[in-house]
Structure 1
Amino acid sequence: MKTEILIDVWQRLLADPRKSWVLFEQGTCVVLTAPDGELAEQATEILKKFGPSHAGSSAGDFGVIDLKDVEGWVVTGHHNDVLTYVGPDEPQGRSEISVGLFGRSKRHQDGTELHVVHVEDKRGSADPA
């Protein structure tokens, strides 16, 4: 999926003006609830730890969120702030299991390759005037 499409999707999904986030190549987004220092480095450390999936452990668990405002799904994992977007044309099937396994594989790839494609730094953008 093209990076521009992924950025647009996440900008629509994470419209909160206080949420900083980092996007990785396969569509995994790390939301930084306490952004500090270099955001790409902070997100990479989180994804390095919580991105790779390991069957039979909590790292293999996933949940699927059917999106209302955007076509596709968000696949969750064992860290609340690590989310992976799955487009409507990506998985082989549209069942929750198919979508979840596909999203988990994308998260795993992002968690092992760790290639940042976009940083959305919202620090200071929501300060009262």
Structure 2
Amino acid sequence: MAVVDTETLIDAWRRLLAGSGRPWVLFEHGTCVVLEEPGGGLAERATEILRAYGPVSVGGPAGDFRVLELKNGEGWLVTGHHPDVVTFVALEDSEDPSHLAVGTLGRSRRDQDGRDLHVVHVEDGRPAGV
């Protein structure tokens, strides 16, 4: 699997989630868990969610995906069966811009993140004192 630049991913997710007020946790291959009700440690909670909803199993809902094209032309978001687990695929990461190719790439990255569970960044977007 191609190496995904961590700083590029952090910058992309900061732009995408600017003003959301929600904390988020980024994993090594570009999967982001946006926490609605974090409770406890952010990285621990996100890891718990990704452990349950990241790995892909044949014939199950984990294999399903939806591709959302970003309006800024930066790439795509690939969603799965958990609403707060999303994988970013940069425009330059996929030679084939079809939703099938991009979705398959995003799903494979989510699968890898769900197995490796390597947190590379935590961003607490909540207002101070919350």
Q: d(CA) in 1 for partners of 2:73 and 2:98?
A: 18
Q: d(CA) in 2 for partners of 1:80 and 1:33?
A: 10
Is the alpha carbon distance of 1:73 and 1:41 closer, same or farther for their aligned partners in structure 2, counting shifts above 3 Å?
Answer: same
1:11 aligns with 2:11: no
Residue pair 1:35, 1:123 contacting (<8 A) in 2 also: no
What TM-score does the superposition give when structure 2 sets the normalisation length?
A: 0.92
Shift in Å, 1:2: 1.1
- Tell me which residue corresponds to 1:82: 85
Is the alpha carbon distance of 1:91 and 1:50 closer, same or farther for their aligned partners in structure 2, counting shifts above 3 Å?
Answer: same
Residue pair 1:17, 1:125 contacting (<8 A) in 2 also: no
Is the alpha carbon distance of 1:126 and 1:50 closer, same or farther for their aligned partners in structure 2, counting shifts above 3 Å?
Answer: same
1:106 aligns with 2:104: no
Residue pair 1:9, 1:70 contacting (<8 A) in 2 also: no
Matching residue's letter, 2:118: H
Computed over aligned residues only, the root mean square deviation of the Cα atoms, in angstroms, reads 1.4
Shift in Å, 1:68: 1.0
Gaps spanning 5+ residues in structure 2: where?
Answer: none
Deviates more, 1:113-122 or 1:68-77: 68-77
Instruction: Give every structure 1 segment of 4 or more consecutive aligned residues whose post-TM-superposition deviation is greater than 6 Å.
Output: none
Q: Number of paired residues? A: 127
Residue pair 1:17, 1:126 contacting (<8 A) in 2 also: no
Is the alpha carbon distance of 1:8 and 1:101 closer, same or farther for their aligned partners in structure 2, counting shifts above 3 Å?
Answer: same
What TM-score does the superposition give when structure 1 sets the normalisation length?
A: 0.93
Is the alpha carbon distance of 1:18 and 1:104 closer, same or farther for their aligned partners in structure 2, counting shifts above 3 Å?
Answer: same
Gaps spanning 5+ residues in structure 1: where?
Answer: none
Instruction: State percent identity of aligned pairs.
Output: 57
User: Partner of 1:125: helix, strand, or coil?
Assistant: coil
Q: d(CA) in 1 for partners of 2:60 and 2:95?
A: 25
